Amino acid sequence: DNCECCLTGVTGGGVVRTEAADATLVLFATELGDEAERQATGFVRWIDPTTNGGMTLESVGPITYEWRVETEREIRGTMAVNGEGEEPFVLFVTDAGSAQPGNDTARLQVGDLDATEGGDRFGYQAAGIVVGGDIQFLDTP
């Protein structure tokens, strides 16, 4: 319990089965420490092969990391869409634990969720169960 190098965060990824298609998630987020409340470092990549002919969303810049409840974490920041622009995002992930494989979930919201197709604003959301891979919390509240 005296480990000064232990990480507090979340890691994982895999295939997320959404209503539209299977997306790929890559995730790592860790808190910077007590002196940097809610600040974190990490990376999120979400690849949706069917939306707009294929879309890659990648975090850019700083992120925040928050424990919502014991089994859910929230990561916020800014994402580039296919390597361009910057849109706000929030990613909610759950870790069902090692005794319940196939029950982890991911829910991503990017940009303006009220945006209309063909408009000048970007909005995207997807959610599903992680069917290939795993979400692991590196901490417990």
The whole-number pLDDT of residue 44 equals 96
Helix, strand, or coil (residue 83)? coil
- In the chain, the DSSP E strands lie at 9-17, 22-31, 39-48, 55-69, 72-81, 84-94, 105-111, 123-137
Radius of gyration of the chain (CA): 15
Other beta carbons within 10 angstroms of residue 93's beta carbon come to 27
The whole-number pLDDT of residue 110 equals 96
Pairing label, strands 39-48, 123-137: unpaired
Residue 100 has pLDDT above 90, yes or no: no
Record the pTM.
0.86
Q: What are phi and psi of 15, to 5 degrees?
A: -95, 125
